[in-house]
Amino acid sequence: MSKKKRLVKKEEIIEPIITFGMKQHLKYLVGLSVIAKIALFIITVFIIGSTVDMYQSSYYYDHFVAIFHGDYPYINNYYEYPILSFIPVVVAWIPSVIFNSVFVYMVVFVALLIIADCVTTMCVYLIARKIWNDSKTAFTAAIIYLTAISAMYFVMTENSTFASCLLMIGLTMVLYGKDFIHSKINVYFVLICGYFVKVFPIIVLPFVILYNSRSTSLKQEIISSLKIIIPVSFILTLPIIIFNPASVLKTLLPARMDIGYFPETIIWTLHVWIHDILHFSSISIDNVLMFVYACMIIGFLLLFYTACKYKKQEPVMLIKFITCAIMILVLAYKVRSPGYIIWFTPFICILIADNIYKIGLFYIVQILAYIEFPLTFWILWTNVEYTNPIYSTNWYLALLLFTAEFLLLVVLSWLAIEPVKIYNIVFKSD
């Protein structure tokens, strides 16, 4: 008996969390990730003749620099993102001051985005390794991610890259447990920091709490999470509460119901088909919004009920629940940016890495998203309208582009998440 115990202890000491082979894979992936982004930049700018959109990085820079002119974010200068979104801006701003060059700011900011995405790539590998228990499949998942053409484009331009990085770090911590991070409280700290960069990581918290509660208790896990979430949230929200309390909800819970409709959404696309193609003129876009939002609410309720019903602690189920939640939000929300593709791409890559047909469909979706932006922006559509007269050739092309992209994205999400399989596991396994 004592010999067996000693052998078990010996194996535990010998078996590292990240093996030498995994470390080699991670090194290769970081290098390939950087090379892929440089290649995409060259192809986009010099071969296709398009541009790399730097609007967001300029937006952050302008709002930060405005502080020195007496225009303060959240107070007298509207700023729509949470407070930690300024951290990479400040880091990139310092060398730009030293060299007295806005161009230096842009270069450093993009470099920070690329570094953050390299971390995300490593997390994709580690999470996939945990789920598939196979280094080859994990490496495939990471390769799929770093060659996802549309996501790759946006990680070089969008602040969502930093939030996605923190989200993936947090989930890696969850799946690798205490031996990897020493304390689960760190997970909640990382996730809430991701929320204060860009709000979407908050959507994973209920599923992480449920997942962790399977080895403790739901009450204990809720208390553990709140011990870190409440003080961090209070500290990061306090300046806004003091100076402009009216902007707190608008910044941290951006419903965006007060702005117009975006052409690059399912809501707009459905309305065009119903109103302009099928000629049901009595159905307004507001009616379509209410229908889509009703579907979204029902979808979230069913998802949360299923997650609560599932009592096991399986990493793949956690990733599927999170992927489903993000996809419901991205597809049904009134506001959509093409850059939201950053939010779900890592998870889709993890879930489809074992199937060549799903991988093929994934790349088709990525190519369509890349055509959507930057290639056809201003040519076929803008943030407020299709740019060509109704029923013209380019008008139809815009409609068909968004229709194909959304349909294939729904199919890809279905194949990745496998809701029928989840239903059978959760409700019929007993």
pLDDT digits (tens, 9 = 90+) for 85-105: 999 999 999 999 999 999 999
Share of the chain above pLDDT 70, in %: 93
- pLDDT of 1 strictly over 50: no
Residue 368 included in any domain: yes
**pLDDT band, very low/low/confident/very high, at 183 (cuts 50, 70, 90):** low
| Three-class secondary structure of residue 430 per DSSP | coil
Residue 4 included in any domain: no
Residue 53 included in any domain: yes
Helical pair 218-243 and 205-213, crossing angle rounded to 10 deg: 150
| Three-class secondary structure of residue 77 per DSSP | strand
- pLDDT of 84 strictly over 50: yes
Residue 348 included in any domain: yes
Q: Tens digit of pLDDT for each residue in 362-396?
A: 999 999 999 999 999 999 999 999 999 999 999 99
Q: What is the mean pLDDT of residues 227-234?
A: 95
- pLDDT of 168 strictly over 60: yes
Q: Rounded CA gap, 313 and 213, in Å?
A: 9
Residue 140 included in any domain: yes
pLDDT at position 9: 43
Residue 163 included in any domain: yes
**pLDDT band, very low/low/confident/very high, at 12 (cuts 50, 70, 90):** very low
Q: Rounded CA gap, 16 and 176, in Å?
A: 12
pLDDT at position 17: 74
Identify whether 95 is preceded by a cis peptide bond (ω within 30 of 0).
no
Name the average pLDDT for the chain. Answer: 92
Adjacent-strand bridge partners of 377: 381
- pLDDT of 297 strictly over 70: yes
pLDDT at position 5: 46
Residue 9 included in any domain: no
Cα separation values, 378 from 43, 335, 363, Å:
20, 18, 24
Full domain range(s) for residue 377:
17-427
pLDDT at position 251: 81
pLDDT at position 194: 96
- pLDDT of 311 strictly over 60: yes
pLDDT at position 180: 62
| Three-class secondary structure of residue 76 per DSSP | coil
Decide if 373 contacts 379 (C-beta within 8 A).
Answer: no
Residue 10 included in any domain: no
**pLDDT band, very low/low/confident/very high, at 185 (cuts 50, 70, 90):** low
pLDDT at position 179: 59
Q: What is the mean pLDDT of residues 139-158?
A: 97
Q: Rounded CA gap, 174 and 192, in Å?
A: 14
Domains: count for the chain? 1
Helix (H) or strand (E) holding 135: helix 135-146
